[in-house]
Amino acid sequence: MVDTQDEMVGEDFSDAVLARADWRGRSLHGCDFTDADLAGMRTHNVTFTDCDFTGADLSGSRHTATAFRNCTFERTVLASAVIDGCTLIGSRFRQARLRPSTIRETDLTLVALPAADLRGLDLSGLRMREVDLFEADLRRADLREADLTGARLTEANLEEADLRGARIDAKSFRQVKLWGARADLALAMAFSAAHGLVIDD
């Protein structure tokens, strides 16, 4: 059933069963979805602001042109979710299950993903400015053409990741694991500079 109710503020959806709900064109502010069953949910052109999805099940859900602004995803299950053309600016993920999932043409600016398990995910072309990836596991992730300007990558594992064309500040390469990662010449030079290597042509 398609639900198009316009605006909701401070609603309590904790423990609610909204599996396979179809929400379109609505705005939700400060709503609580703690431990809610949202499996298979579909959203289009929906705005969630300051909403709490702690412990919620969003597995198999699909979100298009939807905004999650400053939302909390702690222990949230997003396995097999599709996030397409969305905005997650300022949202916080902690111990969330993000694999496997599909994320396309989405803005992850200022998103907190500390210690996140992002192994093998296709994050190519995403806007990830100032994202917090402290201790994140990005092994074999596809980060081609991603914009990671100002990102925090301290202790992140980027082994065997594809970084070709990615925009990453040279200082971000300190204390990063990069064994086997693929990079273009510009990125390789930035990495070398971060480690004090002088390159003569």
Would the CA dihedral through 22, 6, 70, 56 be positive or negative?
Answer: negative
Consecutive H or E run containing 190? helix 185-194
Tell me the CA distances in angstroms from 80 to 45, 177, 190, one per residue in order. 20, 27, 35
pLDDT at 185: 83
List pLDDT tens digits, range 176-199. Answer: 898 999 988 877 777 776 655 555
SS3 of 185, please? helix
Domains in the chain (CATH in brackets) are: 1-87 (2.160.20.80), 108-201 (2.160.20.80)
pLDDT at 150: 94
Q: How many helices (H) and strands (E) does the chain have?
A: 1, 12
List pLDDT tens digits, range 63-120. Answer: 999 999 999 999 999 999 999 999 999 999 999 999 999 999 999 999 999 999 999 9
Does pLDDT of 20 surpass 70? yes
Higher pLDDT, 197 or 25: 25
- Residue 32 pairs with which residues in a beta bridge? 12, 52
Q: In what order do the strands lie in the sheet with 27-29?
A: 7-9, 27-29, 47-49, 67-69
Give the whole-angstrom CA distance, residue 104 versus residue 83: 6
Task: Give the whole-number percent of the chain exceeding pLDDT 90.
Answer: 82
Summary mean pLDDT of the chain: 92
pLDDT at 2: 41
Three-state SS for 154-201 is CCCECCCCECCCCECCHHHHCCCECCCCECCHHHHHHHHHHCCCCCCC
Higher pLDDT, 151 or 173: 151
